[in-house]
Structure 1
Amino acid sequence: MDSPDSSPPKSRFETFRDRLRQLYHGRSPAALRFQAVTTVVDLLIIAFFIVTPLLREKSAFLWIDYSVAIIMIAEIGARLLASTNMLRLLRQPTMLLDLFILSTLLMPQWLENFGFLRILRLWSLSHKGIVWAQFRTTRFREWENVVRALSNIATFLFVVTGFVYTFFFQQEGGLESYVQALYFTVATVTTTGFGDVTLPGIAGKLTSIVVMIVGITLFVRLAQALFRPNKVLFPCPECALQRHEPDAVYCKACGHKLKIPDDEA
C-alpha cells in the first residue's frame, strides 16, 4: 500500500523540464558543457547579425535567416520550459528583445529597416547569468566588469553602424559602404572627427551628436573598469556589500568578518 505522503511519478514532460533546468542552471560538467555550447551558438548568431547587411542580396540569405529563426525558437522555447515562472520570464527585457529579434527574422521583408537592432542580441547575451556564471568559475573573474564594458561598447558600435548603413549608405550597398558606416561610427564615438565621412542633413547631425554623447559615456565606463583597483565580488552576509579588497578579513562597511574563498586553495 502506498504511503499517503508519496508523490505521484513525474510525467515525461516534467522530467524533460527538470532536465532542462539542470542544464541551464546546474554546475555539473554536462550542464557547463551545454551552457558553453549555447554561448558559442549565440556568438555565431550575433556574427550573422553583424554581417547581415553584406549578405542581404545573396540568394542563400533567406535560408540562413529562417534557419537562425528556427534555432532561436528552439532556444527561447527551451528557456521558457526551464523557467519556474514563464510569465515572469516573458516580461523580462532580454526576453522581449529576443522576441522582437525573432520577429525580424520571421518577417525580414517587412521589418528590413529594423534589422540592425538584431545586434542588441549581444547586449541580451551579456545579461545572461549563464555567461557570467562560467566566467566566475575561472581565474579571470576579476575581468568581468571589463568584459561587460567591452560588450556594451561593441553592441553600441555595431547597432549604430547598422543604423547608419540602413538609413544613409544602403543605396550604395556593398562592403565598402558598410565599412564606411563602421568607420564613421568609430570616428564619431572616439571624437576623432576626421570629417572625411559625414552624414548629410539635420538627421545626420543629430545622429552624430547622439553617437558622440553615448559613445563618450561608454568609453568612460570602460576606463573605470580597466583602471579601478581590483576588487573581489563577495556579498557580505551582514550588509550585502559586494566589492571588497582581495585580502579583506572584515567588511569595511559594517565590520562583519568575511570568509572570502581563496582561488589559490
Structure 2
Amino acid sequence: MSLSSSTEKSEGFRLRARLRALYHGTSHTAVRFRVAVLVIDLAIIAFFIAGPILKEGGIVFYIVDYMIAALLAADLAARAWCYSNIRDWLKKPIVWMDLFILATLLFPAWLFSLGFLRVLRLWTLINSDFFWRTIGHRYDDTRVEDVTKALVALVTFIFVATGFVYTSFLGQTEGLSGYVDALYFTVTSLTTTGYGDILLPGTWGRVVSIVIMLTGVTLFVRVGQTLLRPHKVRFPCDRCGLQVHDPDAVHCKACGNLLCIPDDGGH
C-alpha cells in the first residue's frame, strides 16, 4: 500500500469518527451541531409547506430549491458515511423517504406534481432517533413523545392532503382557485364539518374526500388517546428490556426486577 493511499484511508477514518461524534455523541459541541441541523431542517420544512405559493417567485424558487437539495444531500451523505453498514442504513424506510424528497428537489420540473410529498420530511424528522436524542432527556418521556408524534402525523397529513388536492384539482372545481382554498377544503373535510362550498368533482373526487375524512378522524382519535393515556417514563429494565414503566414503579411488570427510576429531582 502506497503512502498516499494509507494517508487517504487514515483521513477517511478520522472524518468518519468526527461525523459519528457529531451525529451520535453527547458532547456540548455535538448537541449544538444537532440543534443547528434541526433548526435548518425546520426551516426547510417551512419552505416545503409554502412551496406551492413560493413557486410563483420563478427563478428564485428554483435557486432556493437547489440550495436545499445540496444541504439535504450533504446531510444524507454524512449520515450514511458515519453509519457502520450502509446496506443496513438503506433498509430504513425513513432513509428512502428522504431520498425520494431529495429526488423531487433535484428534478422539480419533472416531479413537481409529487412535490407535496416533501412535507413528509416533517414526519421523518420527528420519528427519527436523531430528533429525540438531540432535544435531551428533559423530554425523554413517553407521553411527550407520543403526543408530539401524533400531532405531527396529523399536521403532516393535513399538508400532504392539501398538496394533493391543490395539485390534482386546481382549476377543476368551483371555489378551488389557490393553495389556501385547498387547505380550507382539507380541514373542513377531515373535521367532517363539510360546508359544501367546495366539492371535488367526479367519483375520484368523492374517493379523495372519503379518504381525507376517515384518515382525519383516525388521527384525531389517536391524538385524543395519547393525551388521555396514563403517564409513563422511558426506563429500560436491565433484565428483560421492557422500555416503559409507571413513574412510581418499584418493580418491572414483565419480570419483577427491582427498578430504580430517577424522580423529577434527579434522585
The answer for the alignment partner of 1:138 in structure 2 is 138
For 1:135 and 1:219, locate their aligned partners in 2 and report how far apart those are by CA, in whole Å.
Answer: 26
Instruction: Give the AA of the match of 1:18.
Output: A
Instruction: Give the AA of the match of 2:21.
Output: Q
Q: TM-score, normalised by structure 1?
A: 0.91
Instruction: Give the AA of the match of 2:91.
Output: R
Alignment of 1:235 with 2:231, yes or no, is no
> Any idea what SS the aligned residue of 2:149 has?
helix
Task: Give the conservation status (yes or no) of the 8 Å contact 2:140–2:233.
Answer: no
The answer for the alignment partner of 1:4 in structure 2 is none
The answer for the alignment partner of 1:118 in structure 2 is 118
Map residues 43-192 of structure 1 onto 2, 5 A cutoff. 43-59=42-58, 60-138=60-138, 141=141, 142-169=143-170, 177-192=178-193
For 1:212 and 1:252, locate their aligned partners in 2 and report how far apart those are by CA, in whole Å.
Answer: 39
Instruction: Give the AA of the match of 2:41.
Output: D
For 2:218 and 2:24, locate their aligned partners in 1 and report how far apart those are by CA, in whole Å.
Answer: 33
For 2:8 and 2:205, locate their aligned partners in 1 and report how far apart those are by CA, in whole Å.
Answer: 63
Q: Following TM superposition, by how much is the alpha carbon of 1:242 offset from its aligned partner in structure 2, in angstroms?
A: 2.3
For 1:162 and 1:189, locate their aligned partners in 2 and report how far apart those are by CA, in whole Å.
Answer: 14
Identify the structure with the greater helix proportion. 2
For 2:172 and 2:192, locate their aligned partners in 1 and report how far apart those are by CA, in whole Å.
Answer: 26
For 2:54 and 2:8, locate their aligned partners in 1 and report how far apart those are by CA, in whole Å.
Answer: 50
Query: Sequence identity of aligned pairs in percent?
Result: 50
Aligned residues: 256
CA distance 1:249–1:161, shift in 2 (3 Å): same
Map residues 209-220 of structure 1 onto 2, 5 A cutoff. 209-220=210-221
The answer for the alignment partner of 2:23 in structure 1 is 24
For 1:123 and 1:170, locate their aligned partners in 2 and report how far apart those are by CA, in whole Å.
Answer: 29
> Any idea what SS the aligned residue of 1:57 has?
helix
> Any idea what SS the aligned residue of 1:120 has?
helix
Structure 2: unaligned runs, 5 residues or longer: 1-6
> Any idea what SS the aligned residue of 1:151 has?
helix
For 1:139 and 1:187, locate their aligned partners in 2 and report how far apart those are by CA, in whole Å.
Answer: 33
For 1:87 and 1:104, locate their aligned partners in 2 and report how far apart those are by CA, in whole Å.
Answer: 23
Q: TM-score, normalised by structure 2?
A: 0.90
Q: Following TM superposition, by how much is the alpha carbon of 1:154 offset from its aligned partner in structure 2, in angstroms?
A: 0.9
Q: Which whole-Å deviations, capped at 9, do the CAs of 1:198-235 have from their partners, x for residues lacking one? A: 21111110001111111111111111111111111112
Q: Following TM superposition, by how much is the alpha carbon of 1:254 offset from its aligned partner in structure 2, in angstroms?
A: 2.3
Task: Give the conservation status (yes or no) of the 8 Å contact 1:139–1:263.
Answer: no
Q: Which whole-Å deviations, capped at 9, do the CAs of 1:125-152 have from their partners, x for residues lacking one? A: 1221121123451157341111111111
